[in-house]
Amino acid sequence: MMKHTIFESVLIFTLFLSLIQFAFVPKSVGEVRKMFTIAHRGASGYAPENTIMAFDKAVDMKADYIEIDVQRSKDGKLVIIHDTKVNRTTNGEGYVKDLTYAELQNLDAGSWMGDEFDGAKIPSFEEVLDRYLGKIGILIEIKAPKLYPGIEEDMAKILKGYHLDKVKNEEIIIQSFHFESMKKMKRLLPYVPIGVLISKKENATVEAVKDFSSYADYYNPSYAILTEDLVRTAKAEGMKVLSWTVRSPETAEYLLGHNIDAIATDYPDYVMLEK
């Protein structure tokens, strides 16, 4: 009888220790908060923005997403460039919309940052999809949609051709500062995550966040106007929060102190080192 009592006591004590250990272990990896690193225009602190060089660098640095800016050439080709003019980041001049794809391809999009980047080209949207789908997530920003009537339909057609109208694991996200454009994208691609980019304080209110949640999956404010109230409201409304743009370790540290889901940065290693 005594042996049974000792055995039962040891068994109970062992089970007790196991329960304590289990209580301090997450039930699954999914319960650990994951903050994604978005390489803003690629790893643009290290290579010319919106070029294959910058995107390849982001992949090498193990960023979770590349962010790309999409506009349209004179002859209807979707291309990756930030400014509405080519002047700043190429050796050419003029508006993107006034140049054909061939003319854009003839420009040097790299040497402005250094001789070692001489010869970099402006990529097409399809080129980026072909090269990076399955390797890294792609955050797609539609730039200046008012200059490009119908660009939303053009993009939706291309994405459907890649079977990206029903994305898995948010392999692509579409965002813009232009809210009507994002409403249209949500109608065209209802299963693709949509983000609204926020830079003005008038759109950084609890009421505005609730309005955006009717069609947006991501609320993406500048770090300069990010507040805990905005984050809490966005999360309560079922949205994720992505903030931008980190260009210093101090800003990375500041944003990592908030309960947000993603950080856009020119320097992916700044965010990764602070995690």
Q: What is the CATH number of the domain that holds 42?
A: 3.20.20.190
If one counts the domains in the chain, the total is 1
**What is the mean pLDDT of the segment spanning 29-54?**
87
- Which residues 6+ apart lie within 8 Å of 69 measured at CB? 41, 50, 80, 81, 82, 141, 143
**Which one of the listed residues 40, 163, 178, 258 is annotated catalytic?**
40
How large a percentage of the chain has pLDDT more than 90?
Answer: 85
Tokens, residue 117:
């980047």
How large a percentage of the chain has pLDDT more than 70?
Answer: 87
pTM: predicted TM-score of the whole model, two decimal places: 0.88
pLDDT exceeds 50 at position 189: yes
Structural domain includes residue 79: yes
**Which one of the listed residues 4, 82, 178, 258 is annotated catalytic?**
82
Question: By residue range, what is the domain housing residue 142?
Answer: 33-205
Rounded to 5°, angle at Cα 103 from 102 and 105: 65
Residue 163 annotated to the active site: no
Q: Each residue of 99-127: pLDDT tens digit? A: 999 999 999 999 999 999 999 999 999 99
Structural domain includes residue 44: yes
Tokens, residue 107:
């420009």
Confidence at 274, pLDDT banded by 50, 70, 90: low
**What is the mean pLDDT of the segment spanning 159-180?**
95
**What is the mean pLDDT of the segment spanning 83-106?**
99
CA distances from 34 to 15, 110, 206, 274 (A): 32, 33, 24, 13
Structural domain includes residue 10: no
Residue 178 annotated to the active site: no
What local confidence, expressed as pLDDT, does residue 216 receive?
99
What local confidence, expressed as pLDDT, does residue 21 receive?
41
Report the sign of the C-alpha dihedral through residues 38, 152, 177, 203, in that order: negative
Structural domain includes residue 268: no
Tokens, residue 202:
């008038």
